[in-house]
Chains A and B, each alone.
Chain A
Amino acid sequence: MNKSFSNPFSLIGRRVLVTGASSGIGRGIAIFISQLGAEVICNGRDEKRLKETLDNLSGSGHTAAKFDLNDVEAIQPWMMKISKQHGKLWGMVHAAGIQQTLPAAMVSKEKFEHVFTINTKAAFFLAKALFSPSIRDEHGGSIVFISSVMSLVSQAAISTYSLSKAALSGLSKSLAVEFAPKKIRVNCISPAYIKTPLLDDMIKKWTGSQVKELTKRHPLGIGEIQDVAYATAFLLSDASRWITGTNLVVDGGYTTL
């Protein structure tokens, strides 16, 4: 006799908003969670690149939702519109992010805010909006902030990036407690260096020996986009139903050295 089995890793019937879905880690997450059955709302600023993401998704019911997250006050009405059009949201993954390598002496108020607005402020307002009864799925949900190992360890000249990511850890802990009564979980993922177009841009400013050094810093080598996508899918699924307020480090051993 076959025992009935319900796969706790399945995302069938889950509607999930993914920010930064037009490239890199966000796109990889959108693609992988669609393969697990999620209906994905893909956010980004570039319509053409969002379309490319949509073309790579499995299953149906996916949508491109072009929106500039710098406009934090407009996040709630925008998500309200999405939930009216497509149905309520089970989850949200904030993968949009800005990396900034800049010595402290060069950081102006504008440069500071440029990073902080997208990485941190938008994370808060996206989570706040998702918690609204007219937007969230009444059965519960899961919020995942893509943070960085630079929230735990750091290096010179990334102060704005490091602080913007470290803040997500505090944010997720407080929201985890506040949203728990509605069965909404809130977690962070902290990847080390991942092969993305963003990383390619970054290392252009480095010398060849700096690039070699970086590879050596990861006992398992530099990460792939899927490595973050798998961890994200886990935190979105019921397999992680007793996990909230945590920071899942996905770093190929970077922080153990």
Chain B
Amino acid sequence: MKRSEVIPELEDLLGFEAGTIKEGANIADVPEWDSMAILSFIAFVEDKFELVLEGDQIAEVKTFIELFDLIGDKFE
């Protein structure tokens, strides 16, 4: 999966309107991004990239750019 495909797929999975997640945005500015979204993101990354992220790693990041950076070289 390509990096550009992550946002639309996540929005779809989480039932968010398109455009809710913007890569440059601060995570704190997106109220829909709650603890369920975080759990979904962990499961999504495990499924699509065979990568297990830890809760503390995710708690530390401030922006979606940093969040997707955790997937690192696993992108296509």
Nearest opposing residue in chain A for B60, CB measure: A207
A206–B14 alpha-carbon span in the complex (Å): 20
Main secondary structure of the interface of B (DSSP, over half): helix
Q: Interface size (B, Cβ < 8 Å)? A: 18
In the complex, whether B26 has a CB less than 8 A from a CB of chain A is no
Which one, A103, A206, A207, A210, contacts B40 given CB within 8 A?
A: A103
Chain A-chain B contacts (Cβ-Cβ < 8 Å), number: 39
Residues of B within 8 A of A156 (CB): 35-36, 39
In the complex, whether B59 has a CB less than 8 A from a CB of chain A is yes
Residues of B within 8 A of A255 (CB): none
**Contact: A105 with B59, CB < 8 Å?**
no
Residues of B within 8 A of A204 (CB): 52, 54-55
A-B pairs with beta carbons under 8 Å apart, 14 shown: A101-B39, A102-B39, A103-B36, A105-B13, A105-B15, A106-B13, A156-B36, A156-B39, A157-B36, A204-B54, A204-B55, A205-B55, A207-B55, A208-B56
Which residues of chain B have a CB within 8 Å of any CB of chain A?
Answer: 13-15, 35-36, 39-40, 42-44, 47, 52-56, 58-59
**Can you name 15 extra interface pairs (CB under 8 A) apart from A105-B15, A205-B55?**
A101-B39, A101-B43, A103-B40, A103-B43, A105-B14, A106-B44, A156-B36, A157-B36, A204-B55, A205-B39, A205-B42, A205-B52, A206-B55, A207-B56, A207-B58
